[in-house]
């Protein structure tokens, strides 16, 4: 776990550093003096002044900061009971509101630009997509609950979803993207069943744990083993890649999801009948379960695999840009449903959980080779960078979006901001962010204990 957290800190630090670099370059561009630019936080381990800027490397090499001249002068104005914020040449408040807006928005813009760069590189290198067929299994067949939207609409196990709202879907990822991003919105599903085509209207339910939509389906997949985790129950029990599970606990396995139904009973011993190279074998797995009730079975099943890669640099840049815009749109849509009955302790990730997840992606994927690890980490960092951009653009005091609103008001009314207004605005934002941080940390601690 320590290795995952350390690796995660480096990844998260890069994203924060890019954000601060945006502020730094924008400030220099519009004529605001930068007093210090630091990689990392805390007491400087190294510092050197070049021109007017002191460059530092902090003792905690995570993220960084850009200290602009006079950005805290509103505090000085409060101390001396001034009615206006001092406006020295080259200071933050000495610049026009429009120049300050450029500086405020530069951080999120650089995060979005960083995501474009990362995703363009990913498309340039190429990556393998792992998914499943568009044939479905009703979740009610697994957990015996019948109140899912898929059941209520009339879908059946074995159906093949071919289109949603008139758009063709060919695999599980296509379907999940539609369903997860449209909770509460009615979608038109085109379904193939035994040679006939049917149309159903289905409204995805909001999942409080994730903030995404669900309709109550799994995806059909042959229960043929794609990989066996080292030291797992499957490895100890003698299962191998390529084995096809025919029966589990005496029950036939027509599709891989059927194994979930059997594991819900939490058997300590799981007898299996498998087919290996034309030979029928019997195996027995001794299972244990974590605090969340998940077994240590240690197998993954085969699915669809296909390669994606841009044919040239121009296409890679185009793909990277469109993927970033698409992710921004999905993030904004997800943000809009965040407070609609969502369990924030589960759906909201704080800095600890994000750091762990970055490290987890890096360390888990490195076993599949450097290229796979790089693709996984780059894609995940792009997602975090986009999320940081969206978060900072929120019109919340103390965030870049809040400063944008404040400076926009000043620019429109052409009246300098009163120090007390700026102070109250910043304190309100700081309190909100601190409350959100504490709340997310409780969820992070619970998450780490489960790990």
Residues recognised as catalytic: 20
Measure Cα distances from 175 to 107, 112, 149, 201 in Å. Answer: 34, 26, 14, 14
Tokens coding 339: 């407070």
Rounded Cα–Cα distance for residues 449 and 293 (Å) = 14
Rounded Cα–Cα distance for residues 92 and 342 (Å) = 39
- Which residues on neighbouring strands pair with residue 384, listed in sequence order? none
- One-character DSSP codes across 133-198: BSBEEETHHHH----SHHHHHT--TT-EEEEETTEE--BHHHHHHHHHT-TTS-EEEEEEETTEEE
**Gyration radius from the chain CA atoms:** 26
Non-local (6+) Cβ contacts of 404 within 8 A are 101, 104, 105, 393, 395
Rounded Cα–Cα distance for residues 144 and 270 (Å) = 21
Rounded Cα–Cα distance for residues 233 and 296 (Å) = 6
Write phi, then psi, for 85 (nearest 5 degrees).
-85, 130
- The string over 272-291, giving b where at least 16 C-beta atoms fall within 10 Å of a residue's C-beta and e elsewhere, is bbbeeeeeeeebebebeeee
Rounded Cα–Cα distance for residues 210 and 325 (Å) = 22
- Cβ distance 272 to 245 under 8 Å? yes
Non-local (6+) Cβ contacts of 125 within 8 A are 309, 371, 374, 375
Measure Cα distances from 56 to 36, 37, 44, 47, 66 in Å. Answer: 7, 6, 6, 4, 10
Alpha helices in 72-96 (DSSP H): 73-79
């Amino acid at each position: 776990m320590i290795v995952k957290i350390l690796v995660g800190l480096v990844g998260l630090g890069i994203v924060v550093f890019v954000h601060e670099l945006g502020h730094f370059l924008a400030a220099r561009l519009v004529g605001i003096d930068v007093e210090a630019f630091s990689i990392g936080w805390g007491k400087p381990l190294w510092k050197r002044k070049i021109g007017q800027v002191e460059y530092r490397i902090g003792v905690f090499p995570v993220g960084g900061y850009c200290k602009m001249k006079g950005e805290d002068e509103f505090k000085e104005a409060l101390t001396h009971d001034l009615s206006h914020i001092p406006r020295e040449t080259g200071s933050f408040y000495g610049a026009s509101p429009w120049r300050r807006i450029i500086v405020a928005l530069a951080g999120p813009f650089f995060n979005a630009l960083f995501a474009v760069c990362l995703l363009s590189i990913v498309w340039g290198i190429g990556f393998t997509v792992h998914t499943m067929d568009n044939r479905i299994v009703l979740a009610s067949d697994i957990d015996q609950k019948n109140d899912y939207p898929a059941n209520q609409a009339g879908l059946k196990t074995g159906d093949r979803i071919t289109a949603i709202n008139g758009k063709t879907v060919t695999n599980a990822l296509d379907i999940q993207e539609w369903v997860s991003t449209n909770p509460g919105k009615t979608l038109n599903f085109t379904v193939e069943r035994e040679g006939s085509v049917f149309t159903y209207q289905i409204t995805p339910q909001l999942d409080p744990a994730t903030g995404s939509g669900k309709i109550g389906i799994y995806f059909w997949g042959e229960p043929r083993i794609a990989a066996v985790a080292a030291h797992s129950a499957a490895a100890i029990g003698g299962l191998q890649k390529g084995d096809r599970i025919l029966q589990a606990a005496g029950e036939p396995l027509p599709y891989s999801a059927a194994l979930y139904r059997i594991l819900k009973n939490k058997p300590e011993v799981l007898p299996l009948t498998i087919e290996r190279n034309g030979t029928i074998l019997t195996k027995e797995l001794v299972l244990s379960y974590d605090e969340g009730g998940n077994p240590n079975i240690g197998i993954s099943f085969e699915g669809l695999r296909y390669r994606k890669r841009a044919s040239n640099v121009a296409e890679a840049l185009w793909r990277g840009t469109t993927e970033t815009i698409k992710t921004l749109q999905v993030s904004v849509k997800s943000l809009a449903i965040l407070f609609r009955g969502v369990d924030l302790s589960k759906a909201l990730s704080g800095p600890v959980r994000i750091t762990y997840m970055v490290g987890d992606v890096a360390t888990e994927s490195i076993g599949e080779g450097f290229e796979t690890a790089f693709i996984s980490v780059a894609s995940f960092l792009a997602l975090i960078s986009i999320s940081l951009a969206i978060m900072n653009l929120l019109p919340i005091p103390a965030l870049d979006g809040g400063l944008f609103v404040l400076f926009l008001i000043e620019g429109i009314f052409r009246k300098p901001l009163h120090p007390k207004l700026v102070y109250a605005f910043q304190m309100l934002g700081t309190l909100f962010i601190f409350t959100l941080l504490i709340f997310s940390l409780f969820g992070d601690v619970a998450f780490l204990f489960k790990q």
